[in-house]
Structure 1
Amino acid sequence: MNEIISSGTIILALIALLSVTAVGIIIERMRYFRKSRADEDRLLERIRHSLEKGFYDEALSICEQNPGPLSDLMKVGIEYRKYSPEVIHDLISDAANLEVPKMERNIALLGTIAHITPLLGLLGTVTGNIQAFGVLSDFGAAADPGLLAGGIAEALVTTAAGIVAAIPAIAFYNQLVSKVNHNLIRLENRVSELVVLLKGDVGSKTMADLGTSSAATASSRGTGSGLKSGGSRS
């Protein structure tokens, strides 16, 4: 009986630890999404105000002072405003792909916890029943049925605990995944608004121009570095 309780206690402690971890992830992610939504509304209004006046440097400064998914995407759009809308959309899409891991942080871990806690509970029940029936085989006909029933009941507690821990974890996991998808859609809409705001200043440069510009920048940096090195030798 003591062995059953001991093994069940270990499983219960592990389930409790995973439950606390899940609660921490849920609270942190919910706060993140709530804060980012509130910050985005204020940030977009400030950026829109600057762009309408043509103060692009001010808009970039606002983005740098308020780091986040929206500001990073807005910054890309403003910096490459002289390129065609197609190029801007491609560049912003690439930048958006970098923001996805930030929004999905620890959500996969929450999903893992939601899946393994009921399995851990079932494992505790199985091992507890194995030990309970082992006691029955040791004592044979002299075994106390009440003791056996008590052992099985103790073993079933872990299954119940695992299910209780898994239900909210699964519910919030699905909710957080949905929030990530909604945030991505909202960011795309924000970016579309940005392109509209920049419509009068959007240029016609293509991806080829972007590659040429990048190569020229790299070449100038290399030349500058060589001149500095030459100067240091003399």
Structure 2
Amino acid sequence: METLLNAFSHSIFLYPVSLCGLLAFGITVEHLVYLVFFARLNTTSFMQSIQRLVLADELDRAIHTCLSAPRAPLANVVKAALQNADAEPRTIELAVEQATLDAVPSLQGRIGYLATIANVVTMFGLLGTIVGLIQSFDAVAQANPEDKQTMLAAGIAIAMYTTAGGIAVAIPTLAAHAFLVHRGNRILDDVDRSALKVLLMLEARRKGRAGLVAEQPAVEMIEPVQMAEQG
């Protein structure tokens, strides 16, 4: 610990390395909380509830189900389709596409910054090491011969702390970036599949209502015939 504090006092590059680590940690925690507690839904259970309500022509209840998860991309995309259920099929598709596009920024968020931070912090570490080595060699050149070896070893040790710090921040940052991107892509895949299911549900509902309308004139024609027979 004393050596680490000494490294901070001799290398200003450890401060931006530490700052990058704090930024990466904050972004990771923020997005992880969103993905785990807000964006994730039990897709199977949710879509079964929506299907049951849509086929029962209870669209208001289906929309209310979506509103129970206002920050979930899947719920927002399904809600967009349901709110346009009586529009033309192309209008419904456009509403779904727009809702899906609106969901992408919330899923990706600041994840892209993590890859940038990992690259920048590695460069800070290398730069700090190079500058530290230059300073060490300059100091050794002006030191007494009997102290040169000790000063050189101490200077190199301090300089290497910046590289170690940069790599120590970059590795978990890259791992967090890969994990969060993977989770976001999985949710987007669920959204795409579920959006197609909703479109098929609404099409089935439309055909069912069209069938009822087509049968209605035949029912009305029965009454005059029956009245004529009674006469």
* TM-score, normalization by structure 1: 0.75
Aligned residues: 201
Does the C-alpha gap of structure 1 residues 13 and 42 become closer, same or farther in structure 2, counting only changes over 3 Å?
farther
Once the two structures are TM-superposed, the CA of residue 41 in structure 1 deviates from its matched residue by 4.7
| Residue identity matched to 2:205 | D
Instruction: Select 1:51's aligned residue among 54, 62, 83.
Output: 54
Query: Which one of 92, 98, 116 corresponds to residue 120 of structure 2?
Result: 116
Choose the corresponding residue for 2:155, options 133, 148, 151.
151
SS of the residue 2:13 aligns to: helix
Question: CA 1:32 to 1:168, structure 2 compared with 1: closer, same or farther past 3 Å?
Answer: same
Cα deviation, 1:179-232, whole Å, max 9, x if unaligned, reads 2222222101011111122123348xxxxxxxxxxxxxxxxxxxxxxxxxxxxx
Show CA shifts across 1:71-116 (max 9, x none). Answer: 2111111122223434322221122111111111120221221111
Matched, 1:197 2:201: yes
CA distance in 1 between partners of 2:10 and 2:44 (Å): 52
The code of the aligned residue for 2:119 comes to H
2:222 equivalent in structure 1: none
**RMSD over equivalenced CA pairs, Å:** 2.5
Deviation at 1:40, TM superposition (A): 4.5
Q: Give the 3-state SS of the residue equivalent to 1:144 in structure 2.
A: helix
Letter of the structure 2 residue corresponding to residue 60 of structure 1: I
Contact 1:4-1:151 within 8 A present in 2 as well: no
Gaps of 5+ in 1: 204-234
> Which ranges in structure 2 are unaligned for 5 or more consecutive residues?
208-231
Q: Which 10-residue stretch deviates more, 173-182 or 39-48?
A: 39-48
Contact 2:55 2:205 in 1 (8 A): no
1:29 matched to 2:31? The reply is: yes
- 1:47-69: per-residue Cα shift (whole Å, max 9, x none)? 23321211111112222332121
User: Contact (CA 8 Å) 2:7, 2:161: kept in 1 or not?
Assistant: no
**Could you say if the C-alpha distance between residues 5 and 62 of structure 1 is closer, same or farther in structure 2, counting changes exceeding 3 Å?**
closer
Alignment of 1:88-99 (within 5 A): 88-99=92-103
Asked whether the equivalents of residues 81 and 198 of structure 1 are also in contact (C-alpha less than 8 Å), the reply is yes
8 Å CA contact retained: 2:43, 2:190: no
Q: After the TM superposition, which parts of structure 1 deviate over 6 Å for at least 4 consecutive aligned residues?
A: none
* Residues 100 and 126 of structure 1: CA distance in aligned 2, closer, same or farther (over 3 Å): same
- The one-letter amino acid paired with 2:132 is G
Give how far 1:140 is off: 6.9
SS at match of 1:81: coil
Q: What TM-score, normalized to structure 2?
A: 0.76
Distance 1:174 1:114 in 2: 12
What's 1:74 paired with? 78
The residue type paired with residue 54 of structure 1 is D
Q: Secondary structure at the match of 1:200?
A: helix
| Cα offsets for 1:31-51 (capped at 9, x unmatched) | 322332235555434323321
Between the aligned partners of 1:145 and 1:202, the Cα distance in structure 2 is 85
Task: Identify the residue that residue 16 of structure 2 maps to in structure 1.
Answer: 14
> For the pair shown, which has the larger CA radius of gyration, 1 or 2?
2
Partner of 1:106: 110
